[in-house]
Structure 1
């Protein structure tokens, strides 16, 4: 708002109260202009404040007749002091209550230097974080200490996030994985062995995320694993091989999927840490129960059954996860192609609506158009507004280049406008001048024939042209071509 003096001001909204104020008040607006050399560059909104209306000593009184003032003084002489004292006490009390009520209803001001006295409720944080992507939960867990503790104390939050973002199609984790470990394997970055930052591939058969180098160093083939399956006495314990998770390598050393292999071209591989852990666990339990063979046998049957159930569960989970990732990848690729096609069609339609219109052939010649249709995003008017000036500029440049290329050809093959007719210029057909000026090839004109000239008359072709003169003029040699090497002329 601007007042009569062209000074900007703002009237603050009055805070609603339960009851009206005990004393009337007015709003005082500071309409003074800003001081300084250049006050017009930084006009700020001027604040207003409320002041109670009261009698100010020394202020100018309203002019009244003496008779009226006398009657007023006479009527109020006896009761004024007592009534004034009661009114002052009630006014002071009401004013303090009103000020206190205003302070309670005053909105909170956010300041950088002052932290909030009351934070967001934990239930609200649970609801907010459940709508985040698991990859975002991993990021806030690493960067925010309070979120780290909250996610640690609420493990079900990972499941709510996974179900909300991916639905029921994504397989549930096996019993040996927590929700956090599952999210870390699926959405985390970096090799779990060497720490390479760009590693994203997770081998679900081993529940590890390895780079290519660590995959080769941390796995071993079946015959190498059998050499490690020995107890403390050096005896063969290869019967526990079925309790190991396995994968498959093809003949080129590429990881194919969960094992074991079923053909000769595929090789079964095992994880070296899993082999060492299983052998150490078996040797420890066997050493404890070595005195009683019956107890050892009973323990082994139970232990082997538990291990096999875990392996079968992991194998089924790995197959489901590999299938889900492949389906998601193909769906995303198909979606990307559909977006690119829609983007291409949208830009073609918009280009035809320009003045002058730009056809598809001109669009495909523009580098900016080729870059724009390679982006897998839905088209919109913003993307077209960004592409339009680039396409118009590149189309104009291409048209100018084509005109410059056609100009020398037109000047070379165009008719003579000088009016004269020179035999050695006008009598040579255009088909014979291709080696000189870049036009169509053909045999030279026949000697003694008439060739139309630019002046309209018919001049016989001069058959007595000097070959040396023609060679100096055109840089060519008249006469039959030289014989090829190693040939004899008869």
Structure 2
């Protein structure tokens, strides 16, 4: 179907492959709208769908065209082809009645409308779990943690799919974040890395995770639970344990400085640093040791080394993971700081260039005296035209005030002593005026 306006083109009949050539002819289809008086009276004919007729080939002529069993044939000029033996009107009427009798009209099923998302309306068609797995694996682990905590429908799904957390972590951090140790699940790892709040007193502002202990505590809770190394040795001596030094290797240890600040994972060997343990871990280890010894008193002497070796292996894995995490956090903190500094430098350079293009231009010294400029350059974001359009009216007003203060003398401001002395020397005046003591007349010195 041709639906074109303002064009006129010519259609020629296709040349047959066999038989005598028919006389050449052509049809000109004029799609241009009528103009003048004829155009006012005539209306544009609207296109409509017409059922096509099936016309058999003429007798004695073998047609090499492709057979069309389900579609009707039609000529290029839009009229049905009639046989030589039948008239055009009779054949078209008979074909139309036959086609209508053989092929009933096809009833198209209405397509369902697309889903409209509205607040408070439950969706009729739910998304399958495989699609959710594919979607959430490209999400931020912090977002998954928030969804698990706040959305009830996501709690079970995120709890029962630990590999989803791993895919999310690898995609978001490009496989740079260390894998968790065997004693941590994927959710616990994400909670320590991206969560906030003290795990003891639930202070919301706490974000520091002590990877040596695998805990996130506030400073008060940390100092209330730690115990120094010589106190741990005293507890082991009271329990009459033979393997005191070996049991120390089975405990998580951290290094504190002389100001009782956390330095990193231990053990430390330097004099100012001191090894610190968790009191609960020491008590738990002693209870487990005593229980294993009482259950197998005959074979405990031989099994003791194996039991402590497994504990030491777990602690070595934890300490190795803690060191990797602390190095990763230091590197991320430094890269973030350098990135912020680059953005602040770019903002300074961009705002200086834009201020120099104003009329009148604003110099760098005048910009430094504008409070809005000083507040804008400490924002760690790349500059753009929007940020400059917000800063421009503020800077122009503040720069005008700076120029006015510089040109208008302030009565409250004291004179500069160096400029005052220079002017007095130029006028051959003494540095200090000495009026006569007999009179109370004020000094006529113009500089005082």
**Within 5 Å, which residues of 2 pair with 1:418-433?**
none
Give the equivalent residue in structure 1 for 2:177: 170
Instruction: Measure, in 2, the Cα distance between the counterparts of 1:281 and 1:369.
Output: 63
- Change in CA separation of 1:254 and 1:131 when aligned onto 2, cut-off 3 Å: same
The range that moved more, 260-269 or 104-113, is 104-113
Give the equivalent residue in structure 2 for 1:203: 210
Give the equivalent residue in structure 2 for 1:242: 249
Q: Check if 1:130 corresponds to 2:137.
A: yes
Instruction: Measure, in 1, the Cα distance between the counterparts of 2:119 and 2:264.
Output: 53
TM-score (norm 1): 0.63
Instruction: Measure, in 1, the Cα distance between the counterparts of 2:145 and 2:278.
Output: 27
Instruction: Measure, in 1, the Cα distance between the counterparts of 2:427 and 2:122.
Output: 96
Partner of 2:441, secondary structure, is helix
TM-score (norm 2): 0.69
Instruction: Measure, in 1, the Cα distance between the counterparts of 2:158 and 2:213.
Output: 26
Partner of 1:202, secondary structure, is coil
Contact (CA 8 Å) 1:230, 1:279: kept in 2 or not? no
Contact (CA 8 Å) 1:21, 1:94: kept in 2 or not? no
Quote the offset at 1:474 in angstroms.
Answer: 3.0
Partner of 1:270, secondary structure, is strand
Cα offsets for 1:374-406 (capped at 9, x unmatched): 011111111111111110111112122223227
Give the equivalent residue in structure 1 for 2:264: 257
Give the aligned length: 341
Contact (CA 8 Å) 2:435, 2:443: kept in 1 or not? no
Contact (CA 8 Å) 1:366, 1:395: kept in 2 or not? yes
**Within 5 Å, which residues of 2 pair with 1:91-490?**
97=107, 101-102=109-110, 104-112=111-119, 114-229=121-236, 238=244, 239-290=246-297, 292=298, 295-405=299-409, 440-442=423-425, 467=436, 471-474=440-443
Partner of 1:474, secondary structure, is coil
Instruction: Measure, in 1, the Cα distance between the counterparts of 2:260 and 2:252.
Output: 18
Which consecutive unaligned segments of at least 5 residues does structure 1 have? Answer: 1-18, 23-82, 88-92, 410-430, 448-464, 477-490
Partner of 1:229, secondary structure, is helix
Partner of 1:268, secondary structure, is strand
Partner of 1:363, secondary structure, is helix
Instruction: Measure, in 2, the Cα distance between the counterparts of 1:209 and 1:113.
Output: 37
Instruction: Measure, in 1, the Cα distance between the counterparts of 2:303 and 2:168.
Output: 40
Which consecutive unaligned segments of at least 5 residues does structure 2 have? Answer: 1-47, 52-96
Quote the offset at 1:131 in angstroms.
Answer: 1.7
Contact (CA 8 Å) 1:202, 1:208: kept in 2 or not? yes
Contact (CA 8 Å) 2:197, 2:205: kept in 1 or not? yes
- Change in CA separation of 1:446 and 1:182 when aligned onto 2, cut-off 3 Å: closer
The range that moved more, 105-114 or 195-204, is 105-114
What root-mean-square deviation, in Å, do the aligned CA atoms of Structure 1 and Structure 2 show? 3.4
Instruction: Measure, in 1, the Cα distance between the counterparts of 2:284 and 2:146.
Output: 31
Quote the offset at 1:106 in angstroms.
Answer: 3.8
Instruction: Measure, in 2, the Cα distance between the counterparts of 1:466 and 1:227.
Output: 86
Contact (CA 8 Å) 1:140, 1:147: kept in 2 or not? yes
Instruction: Measure, in 2, the Cα distance between the counterparts of 1:335 and 1:105.
Output: 50
Instruction: Measure, in 1, the Cα distance between the counterparts of 2:380 and 2:429.
Output: 64
Instruction: Measure, in 2, the Cα distance between the counterparts of 1:148 and 1:302.
Output: 39
Contact (CA 8 Å) 1:230, 1:237: kept in 2 or not? no
Quote the offset at 1:209 in angstroms.
Answer: 1.0
The range that moved more, 333-342 or 400-409, is 400-409
Quote the offset at 1:442 in angstroms.
Answer: 4.6
- Change in CA separation of 1:299 and 1:20 when aligned onto 2, cut-off 3 Å: farther
Instruction: Measure, in 1, the Cα distance between the counterparts of 2:116 and 2:180.
Output: 46
Partner of 2:259, secondary structure, is coil
Quote the offset at 1:468 in angstroms.
Answer: 6.9
- Change in CA separation of 1:20 and 1:185 when aligned onto 2, cut-off 3 Å: farther
Quote the offset at 1:164 in angstroms.
Answer: 1.0
Instruction: Measure, in 2, the Cα distance between the counterparts of 1:118 and 1:154.
Output: 23
Quote the offset at 1:440 in angstroms.
Answer: 3.5
Quote the offset at 1:323 in angstroms.
Answer: 1.0
Instruction: Measure, in 2, the Cα distance between the counterparts of 1:261 and 1:280.
Output: 26
Quote the offset at 1:112 in angstroms.
Answer: 4.4
Partner of 1:203, secondary structure, is coil
